């Protein structure tokens, strides 16, 4: 610089006395306290990526885990794994958070009191012997299945029970009736042209969601959906029907009658059947019927028969990877009859999911519960032993299509009494060896001794350990029809997994509790979902408390009228009302599982509902006012939107000599799964604010997913990150220049400069700026945080940065053409594209040329860098 | 009754005002000097480390290259710390004081990391890339000082934002040749913005 005082020098002198206090107050010691990690072995770099496997409902999904200094900081999909294909969902993304959860158990407990070190041997010793009962979740893991079989053989008269609150017994019964084998239907949405979903939700959360959503986006079959309660598939449907649970079987029978399916025991009539049957007949072998949870075995069987009748090529059958094990009801009966003296519960929580289980289990003299946290079951068990997080222990798994993969630990186990599931079964058997040895032993048996080592290394490197199971060719049996007792009309209870918590297995994940559910928009709680017509009939407003009675049990719950809900059908989301398992999940919402019958039925008729006159505050994030109706555009097929015509501006134009970053979001591909929102939270250290602040609208999610209503109670989902406007309204109004324009078009936020006037947020028409009302840094600053993103103190604004740290990392590695933001990386349908507008061949530059491309609130002249591609619907806007 | 104010009251008041003003200036000057002094930025202050490691011995007397231990510096954002194996590769033969190497031995045995206290840790909102700076022609000593003379590693420069900007405003005048971003000229509203002084270059 030339001589003389500069602006910065003047500021330095002026700020000298302020610096005194600032030095003491601003940079707290812990901000600088992060140590340097010198690894024991290997290279000097602190970063490493591992391929491993995480399970949902017992089925594996391959992931790549990014670690820093030995700590997992981000989970992303493994492109080579068929259940991930590089995408991720809310469950995968939140895995590093639970790894560092403070409420995880670290020591063995006997009757709730800490046991002496090494005493867990006694727990296992007491299990060995006649009449052992082992309860696990659904197991696809070849090693765990092998060890369970060994344990059964070693202990005469023992039984393996599978507790799966997500299981659908009717579907299994129908497969047995139709084909004589317990097979699962794997739909091929690429090959389908017309798909009818009867309560099925292939685009909704589940172990195959990522693969199904990717295939749906590639094939784009016409979606006809009949469902009792709105789902993500229904939201995206081309035609949607809201049906009471009693109506499904008549509809299915009527369609089968229309199509002339052979073997139908009884026919039926339904007003919607003719047109649906015509659509299916027209698509012929490219038609497909899918059935989902809550359907009777008859409906499942009719769907099998129609698919066989049409000769559908859009599906194949595979043996269920996690099949096997006895049911839970006989165990419960035996426990009540005092016939069970040895009980092992491995990573399951039946005391929450099954109403009478805890009381029955209290009669067992020696029960050992092994889980990550002391949950409802752990409180009743005589022993609780701590279990490793899946990211800490060896294991293996199979995907929904049977593809095996190895799970390798990416973080160190806390040690002490904490053990993995494989180690637990080894301890039960009294065998020597580590979990790794046991997993290798399984695969040595499968692969042979020859080139085992190279295959093992390859499986760890790739994250996939073999091929999918070949499809079974099955012929439909003649006596496939299963006419059962029809569901009567009238008020019915419809149990459903919560989109984020499943049946409660993820209730401890604060990210998932806080993120508004895609359709109900609720966070930190659930509500009994009723149709607006039912609510009007009973005079119920959102948040009104009702008493629900079913089969002698009753509970109180708030109601939420939801458009698209079938009349007289009350949907009760599971997963809430936890009484143990950590402060995040305890006491949120109501315990719907308490009403659920022991046979695990998803639909139960004869529900009674009585308003109590009380009110419960529901925490819901509604769509941002002011954006409607033009924010999410919907056009007809082939329709073109006018090209962008820039309005004149007084602001100086910027030049972008290098890259000009931009994002394009395809509303036609978005299924509203929320993966982007959680990926953003994980990537950018976005704090959890808690239910009180969520109720005040102080949530900090940088990326929100808006829901816009469409006819037939369908929805358009719209992810809204920062628009990074070229004429950003937030920039000129900042009094301290804390938000400013970057040379690549990024709207940057300088946290240390921000003084928290919030003027920028007031001036932002898209309302994407978030304000820190509290200092969340201490809670976020765990080893799971992303060290590449700064933590924000209290009183400053924050917002989407277009993952500027990823851009910088890519630049340093010389791969600017492959920059992906965290949200784009997570998206299962590739609805979010990110890239350089100055590069004409980039995806995002081409998306800008698409006739569906538009800018949100274009008329304001803000020239956003984030553009949208309009949704296409039959019938158009 | 005696007058409330003596004839000298005005003079006293003026003197007091002058003294107060001088004190205020002095306080500001002292505060400024303190804020700018090296000790405020922890220059020359050693930190407690798990092992009393001496750069003076390794880099000075033995003449080891920095990259021998910090091998990631030329490749990545962090310079990287040597693995336990690398330390013990030599120290199983020379200066084999078992007690001193316990943390490193434990890291090798358990697969955990040795946690070294960082002497040069930058604030949370700063991004620093070692390889980019080495590629521009900087040496380790530019920021880390004469490490080969330090028996206990200490900070040699303030590493303040102003200190960084001294270079970032005009790196070529110091004989450095920035690569990539730094090579792009950039003009906004007729004013040339030095490419390396944009916020997002160094800040997260």
SS3 at position B176: coil
Where residue A554 sits, what CATH number does that domain have?
2.40.40.20
Task: Say whether B187 and A743 touch across the interface (CB within 8 A).
Answer: no
Residue pair A607/A548 in contact (Cβ under 8 Å)? The answer is yes
Give me the domain span that covers residue A754: 634-644+659-872
Q: At what angle do helices A120-127 and A421-429 cross, to 10 degrees?
A: 60
Mean pLDDT (whole number) for B110-117: 82
Does residue A10 surpass a pLDDT of 80?
no
The pair of structure tokens assigned to A531 is 């149709």
pLDDT band, residue A362 (cuts 50/70/90): very high
Question: In angstroms, what CA-CA distances link A13 with A27, A738, B23, B26, B135?
Answer: 20, 21, 17, 13, 35
The label of the residue with tokens 């100086």 reads: A652
Domain assignment present for residue A730? The answer is: yes
Does residue A31 surpass a pLDDT of 70?
no
The label of the residue with tokens 């693969």 reads: A211
**Interatomic CA distance for residues A253 and A484, integer angstroms:** 13
Q: Are strands A853-855 and A866-869 parallel, antiparallel or unpaired?
A: antiparallel
pLDDT band, residue A23 (cuts 50/70/90): very low
Question: In angstroms, what CA-CA distances link A563 with A179, A303, A711?
Answer: 38, 27, 10
pTM of the model: 0.91
Does residue A408 surpass a pLDDT of 50?
yes
CB–CB contacts below 8 A, A to B: 165
Q: What is the tens place of the pLDDT at every residue in A447-501?
A: 988 899 999 999 999 999 999 988 888 889 988 998 888 899 999 999 999 999 9
Peptide bond into A554 cis (omega under 30): no
pLDDT value for A546: 96
pLDDT band, residue B182 (cuts 50/70/90): low
- Chain B nearest-CA residue for A46: B80
* Same domain flag for A806 and A683: yes
pLDDT value for A115: 92
Domain assignment present for residue A486? The answer is: no
More confident position, A600 or A278: A278
pLDDT band, residue A806 (cuts 50/70/90): very high
**Contact list, A69 vs chain B (CB under 8 Å):** 113
* Same domain flag for A158 and A173: no
Q: Is the dihedral of CA A852, A857, A861, A864 positive or negative?
A: negative
A1, with CB counted inside 10 A (0-12, 13-18, 19+), is: exposed
| Last residue within a domain, chosen from A319, A347, A373 | A319
A176, with CB counted inside 10 A (0-12, 13-18, 19+), is: middle
Q: What is the tens place of the pLDDT at every residue in A169-208?
A: 899 889 988 998 888 999 999 999 999 999 999 999 999 9
pLDDT value for B60: 92
pLDDT value for A482: 86
Q: What is the tens place of the pLDDT at every residue in A545-568?
A: 999 999 889 999 999 999 999 999
Does residue A393 surpass a pLDDT of 90?
yes
Task: Say whether A748 and B131 touch across the interface (CB within 8 A).
Answer: no
- Computed over every residue of chain A, the mean pLDDT equals 91
Mean pLDDT (whole number) for A771-779: 93
Q: What is the tens place of the pLDDT at every residue in A520-548?
A: 999 999 999 999 999 999 999 999 999 99
Where residue A276 sits, what CATH number does that domain have?
3.40.228.10
**Interatomic CA distance for residues A369 and A850, integer angstroms:** 57
A624, with CB counted inside 10 A (0-12, 13-18, 19+), is: middle
Task: Say whether B84 and A658 touch across the interface (CB within 8 A).
Answer: no
SS3 at position A417: coil
Where residue A678 sits, what CATH number does that domain have?
3.30.70.20
Which run of H or E residues covers position B26?
helix B9-36
pLDDT value for A646: 84
Does residue A34 surpass a pLDDT of 50?
yes
By the CB < 8 Å criterion, does B99 face chain A?
no
pLDDT band, residue A33 (cuts 50/70/90): low
**Percentage of chain A lying above the pLDDT 90 cut:** 78
Chain A, window 130-169: residues with a beta carbon less than 8 angstroms from a chain B beta carbon: none
Mean pLDDT (whole number) for A605-629: 87
Domain assignment present for residue A761? The answer is: yes
Mean pLDDT (whole number) for B131-137: 89
* Same domain flag for A211 and A124: no
* Same domain flag for A173 and A297: yes
Residue pair A558/A529 in contact (Cβ under 8 Å)? The answer is no
pLDDT band, residue A9 (cuts 50/70/90): low
pLDDT value for A1: 39
Where residue A361 sits, what CATH number does that domain have?
3.40.50
* Same domain flag for A394 and A450: yes
pLDDT value for A450: 87
A671-681 residues labelled b (16+ CB within 10 A) or e (exposed)? bbbbbbbbbbb
pLDDT value for A604: 94
Does residue B180 surpass a pLDDT of 80?
no
Mean pLDDT (whole number) for A404-424: 92
**Contact list, B123 vs chain A (CB under 8 Å):** 27, 31-32
| Apex B101 CA angle, B98 and B102, nearest 5 | 85
Number of structural domains (chain A) is: 4
Domain assignment present for residue A39? The answer is: no
Which H, E and C letters describe A39-63, residue by residue?
CCCCCCCCEEEEEEEEEECCEEEEE
* Same domain flag for A308 and A381: no
Give the N- to C-terminal CA distance of chain B in Å, as an integer.
72
Max distance between CA atoms of chain B, in angstroms, equals 95
By the CB < 8 Å criterion, does B76 face chain A?
yes
ipTM: 0.84
Which value, to the nearest 10 degrees, does the dihedral of the CA atoms of residues A180, A181, A183, A187 take?
A: -30
Q: Say which residues have a Cβ less than 8 Å from residue A609's Cβ, sequence separation at least 6.
A: A491, A538, A546, A547, A548, A549, A570
Domain assignment present for residue A11? The answer is: no
Neighbour count for residue A518 (Cβ, 10 Å): 24
- Chain B nearest-CA residue for A658: B184
Q: At what angle do helices A452-462 and A435-447 cross, to 10 degrees?
A: 110
Residue pair A289/A303 in contact (Cβ under 8 Å)? The answer is yes
Task: Say whether A742 and B200 touch across the interface (CB within 8 A).
Answer: yes
**Interatomic CA distance for residues A863 and A857, integer angstroms:** 9
Domain assignment present for residue A458? The answer is: yes
Task: Say whether B31 and A742 touch across the interface (CB within 8 A).
Answer: no
């Amino acid at each position: 610089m030339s001589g003389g005082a500069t602006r910065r020098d003047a500021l330095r002198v002026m700020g000298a006395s302020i610096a005194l206090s600032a030095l003491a107050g601003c940079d707290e010691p812990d901000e600088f306290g992060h140590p340097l990690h010198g690894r024991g072995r290997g290279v000097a770099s602190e970063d490493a990526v591992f391929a491993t496997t995480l399970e949902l409902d017992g089925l594996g999904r391959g992931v790549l885990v990014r670690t820093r200094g030995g700590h997992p900081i981000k989970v992303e999909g493994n492109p080579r794994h068929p259940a991930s294909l590089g995408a991720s969902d809310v469950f995968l993304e939140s895995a590093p958070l639970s790894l560092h959860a403070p409420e995880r158990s670290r020591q063995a407990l006997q009757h709730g009191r800490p046991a002496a070190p090494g005493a867990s041997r006694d727990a296992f010793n007491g299990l060995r012997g006649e009449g052992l009962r082992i309860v696990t979740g659904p197991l696809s893991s070849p090693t765990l299945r092998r060890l369970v079989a060994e344990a059964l053989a070693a202990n005469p008269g023992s039984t393996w029970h599978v507790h799966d609150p997500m299981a659908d017994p009717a579907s299994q019964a129908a497969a047995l009736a139709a084909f004589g084998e317990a097979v699962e239907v794997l739909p091929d949405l690429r090959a389908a042209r017309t798909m009818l979903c009867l309560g099925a939700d292939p685009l909704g959360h589940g172990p195959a969601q990522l693969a199904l959503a990717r295939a749906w986006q590639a094939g784009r079959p016409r979606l006809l959906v009949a469902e009792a309660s709105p789902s993500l598939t229904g939201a995206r449907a081309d035609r949607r029907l809201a049906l009471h649970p009693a109506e499904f079987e008549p509809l299915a029978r009527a369609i089968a009658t229309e199509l002339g399916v052979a073997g139908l025991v009884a026919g039926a009539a339904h007003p919607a059947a003719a047109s649906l049957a015509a659509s299916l007949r027209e698509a012929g072998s490219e038609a497909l019927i899918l059935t989902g949870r809550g359907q009777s075995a008859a409906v499942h069987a009719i769907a099998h028969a129609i698919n066989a009748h049409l000769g559908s090529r859009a599906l194949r059958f595979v043996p269920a990877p996690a099949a096997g094990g006895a049911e839970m009801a006989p165990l419960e009966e035996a426990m009540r009859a005092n016939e069970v003296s040895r009980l092992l519960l491995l990573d399951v929580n039946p005391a929450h999911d099954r109403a009478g289980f805890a009381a029955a289990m209290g009669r067992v003299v020696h029960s050992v519960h092994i889980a990550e946290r002391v949950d409802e079951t752990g409180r009743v068990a005589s022993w609780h032993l701590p279990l490793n997080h899946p990211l800490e222990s060896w294991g293996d798994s199979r995907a929904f299509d049977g593809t095996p993969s190895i799970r390798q630990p990416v973080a160190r186990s806390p040690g002490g009494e904490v053990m993995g599931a494989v180690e637990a079964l080894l301890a039960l058997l009294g065998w020597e060896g580590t979990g790794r040895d046991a997993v290798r032993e399984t695969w040595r048996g499968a692969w042979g001794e020859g080139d085992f080592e190279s295959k093992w290394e390859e499986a760890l490197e790739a994250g996939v350990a073999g091929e999918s199971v070949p499809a079974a060719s099955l012929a439909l049996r003649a006596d496939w029809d299963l006419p059962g007792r029809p569901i009567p009309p009238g008020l019915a209870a419809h149990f459903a997994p919560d989109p984020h918590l499943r049946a409660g297995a993820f209730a401890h994940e604060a990210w998932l509790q806080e993120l508004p559910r895609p359709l109900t928009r609720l966070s930190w709680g659930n509500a009994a979902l009723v149709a607006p017509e039912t609510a009007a009939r009973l005079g119920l407003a959102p948040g009104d408390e009702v008493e629900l009675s079913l089969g002698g049990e009753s509970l109180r719950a708030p109601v939420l009228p939801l458009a698209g809900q079938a009349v007289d059908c009350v949907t009760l989301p599971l997963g809430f009302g936890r009484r143990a398992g950590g402060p995040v999940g305890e006491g949120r919402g109501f315990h719907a599982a308490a009403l659920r019958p022991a046979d695990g039925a998803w639909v139960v008729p004869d529900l009674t509902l009585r308003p109590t006159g009380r009110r419960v505050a529901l925490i819901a994030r509604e769509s941002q006012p002011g954006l409607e109706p033009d924010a999410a555009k919907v056009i007809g097929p082939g329709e073109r939107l006018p090209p962008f015509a820039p309005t004149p501006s007084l602001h100086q134009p910027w030049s972008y000599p290098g890259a000009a970053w931009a994002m394009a979001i395809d509303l036609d591909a978005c299924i509203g799964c929320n993966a982007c929102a959680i990926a953003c939270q994980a990537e950018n250290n976005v704090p959890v604010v808690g239910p009180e602040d969520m109720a005040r609208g102080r949530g900090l999610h940088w990326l929100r997913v808006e829901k816009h209503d469409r006819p037939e109670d369908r929805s358009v989902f719209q992810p809204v990150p920062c628009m990074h406007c070229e004429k950003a309204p937030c920039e000129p109004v900042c009094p301290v220049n804390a938000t400013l324009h970057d040379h690549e078009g990024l709207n940057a936020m300088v946290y240390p400069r921000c003084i928290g006037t919030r003027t920028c947020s007031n001036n932002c028409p898209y309302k994407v700026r978030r304000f820190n009302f509290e200092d969340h840094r201490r809670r976020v600053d765990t080893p799971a945080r992303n060290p590449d993103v700064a933590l924000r103190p209290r009183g400053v604004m924050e917002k989407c940065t277009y993952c500027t740290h990823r851009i910088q990392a890519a630049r340093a590695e010389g791969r600017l053409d492959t920059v992906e933001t965290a949200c784009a990386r997570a998206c299962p349908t590739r609805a979010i594209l990110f890239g350089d507008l100055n590069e004409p061949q980039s995806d995002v530059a081409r998306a800008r040329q698409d006739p569906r491309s538009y800018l949100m609130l274009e008329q304001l002249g803000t020239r956003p860098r984030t553009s949208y591609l309009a949704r296409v619907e039959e019938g158009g806007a | 009754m005696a007058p409330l104010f003596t004839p000298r009251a005005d003079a006293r008041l003026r003197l007091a005002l002058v003294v107060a003003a001088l004190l205020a200036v002095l306080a500001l000057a002292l505060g400024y000097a303190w804020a700018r002094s090296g000790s405020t930025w922890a220059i020359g202050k050693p930190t407690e480390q798990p092992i009393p490691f001496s750069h003076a011995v390794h880099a000075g007397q033995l003449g080891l290259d920095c990259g021998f231990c910090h091998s990631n510096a030329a490749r990545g954002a962090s310079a990287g710390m040597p693995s336990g194996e690398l330390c013990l590769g030599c120290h199983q033969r020379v200066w084999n004081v078992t007690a001193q190497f316990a943390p490193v031995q434990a890291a090798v045995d358990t697969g955990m990391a040795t946690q070294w206290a960082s002497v040069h840790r930058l604030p949370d909102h700063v991004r620093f890339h070692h390889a980019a700076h080495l590629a521009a022609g900087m040496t380790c000593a530019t920021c880390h000082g004469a490490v080969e003379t330090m028996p206990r590693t200490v900070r040699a420069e303030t590493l303040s934002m102003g200190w960084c900007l001294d270079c970032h405003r005009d790196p070529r005048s110091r004989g450095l040749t920035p690569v990539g971003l730094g090579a792009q000229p950039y003009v906004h509203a007729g004013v040339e913005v030095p490419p390396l002084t944009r916020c997002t270059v160094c800040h997260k």
